[in-house]
Structure 1
Amino acid sequence: MTKLTKTQKSRKRKKPDNQCSPSPCPSSKPSKKANVTLSSSNGSEPFPDFSGPSPDQCRAVRDDLLALHGFPKEFIKYRNQRSLSPIGHEDDDDISGTDSCKESVLDGLISTILSQNTTEVNSLKAFASLKSSFPTWESVLAADAKLVEDAIRCGGLAPTKTSCIKGILSSLFQKKGNLCLEYLRELSIEEIKRELSCFRGIGPKTVACVLMFHLQRDDFPVDTHVFQIAKTLRWVPIAADVKKTYLHLNRRIPDELKFDLNCLIYTHGKVCRECSGKGSDKPKNEHCDKLCPLLRQSSNAI
């Protein structure tokens, strides 16, 4: 996940208005992380002589992982919010019981920050604790930092995450006069990236996650699991870094496959020791390693 940075203390707040409309970023110089995010669809080609993966390869990996794992239950609610074709291996109870209401974009952004460098269970606990401790984001902004830290401590890195969250809320309030990010739904992907990258501590992976999960846009976040498996599959050169992998995969993977493929690769990376490059550091999963369809595909690609 992206590394969080400390933010400046909140300035005196302005009187809020009731509109949630787009506005340009401050004129401050963007960070290096912002530049990584903004360059995802410009004219540069990170690996001009590297043609993979092909659409057929992406589809084959999606189908193989779906047959192996089924679609991950934790992502079904987000999939149901998107205009995607029905996909097999979902339990009817999971689909019918899914809450179809979209959470706010600001909720999604904060929950993504809380998910950094911790487990899914702990991040969900931290977000639930934060929401129960403070009824509104305005109350989080106004609260003493120590109280916010106490609310999210179970998610780890409480001081750093508190600083990031309060900094985002302060910056958003100064910029918009309220704490609302719903205006992002009306913007293009590149405009959304520019807006979110203006906030300190928000890097390209956080932006990509908000785009894919909370704004239902076609983007392909690259975390450690996706990065390692992309190398295992030889979808990027062995010397590729995370930035260039993100740029390359977002160019090569068809939009209609990005969401499913990302969720499935992430899930697979958590359980397959060989694909994730963790070796014996991970407990052996009887359904992976020797039977792993991705290892077979990577062998065929040699």
Structure 2
Amino acid sequence: MLKNKSYFAIFLLLISLFLVIAACSNTNNESNESKDKETRVVKTIHGDIEIPANPKRIVVESYLPTLLILGEEPVGATKVDVENVHIQDIINAGIESTGEGSMEKILELQPDLIISSDMDKGAFEKFSKIAPTIIIPYESYSDVHEEVRAIGGMLGKDKEAEKWLATFDEKIQQHREKVQAVMEEGETVSILGSFAKDTYIYGDGIYKGGQAIYKQLQLTPSKRIKEELIDKGESYKQVSFEVMTEYAGDYIFFDQSNGGKFDRNDPVWESVDAVKKGNVFYLDEKRFRAYDPIAVLAQAEEVADMLVAKKNSEK
């Protein structure tokens, strides 16, 4: 009789434990489901947009590197994003390419949030039919700090944003000091380029390392680039080849991209002082095309190393 009572007591105990575990499991499931359903409101150029507070399936165009440094791993990104040379050591192989923003592929990925630039002017109307959509036009942010903090705020990743920026600032300061140690007072730099069939001059915006060179390394622009571009908030300006040379600084960073043709032996080009002295750095198109935070940091390091190496060779 006593043995039967003991078995019965053990049975009741096991039943009680099972019910407790089941209750905890249900509570956790309900908590997770509730968390997944939470939303936040983000201010965008299309007004207030309600997005998931914890998006699980983000598709992104143009801002993949920024999401990665914030700890987000999108399910899809454009071909250009996925092939960005600056993120190959941190990109997840599971991020699928959406090509040039294929609607079919984006639908297949079933996103719960889409973040895009305004490359396609009808992007918002198309994408918002699939999932909540945030459109961030090109040059919305003046520098790395603005971009990382803004997108970090949208996704509830403010702490992650500040942590990454602290490291960014530390590294930029190191590169800046390297350059300052070799550049002489009053020496200027300029960013020029041949893009397709035209020639351009560039300011401190998102093109051709402009932010890295002028804003982060704080190199001094040639007088005309400062007055005609930077002071006016212009990122670039198309000019004739002959006029382009008039914007040359003591050191030139030259971009040749999108099939741009450029004759380095042209007499006009060879007459420029910086060219005569060999103070021209021809930029790698793939490495200086991107303008994301990771690219800007890498470009600043490369430019600093170029100048230091050049200066040391002159000793």
Which TM-score band applies after superposition, normalised by the shorter structure?
under 0.3
Query: Which structure: larger Rg?
Result: 2
More helix by share: 1
- Give the structure-2-normalised TM-score: 0.22
User: Of the two structures, which has the highest relative contact order with CA contacts closer than 8 Å and spacing of 6 or more?
Assistant: 1
More strand by share: 2
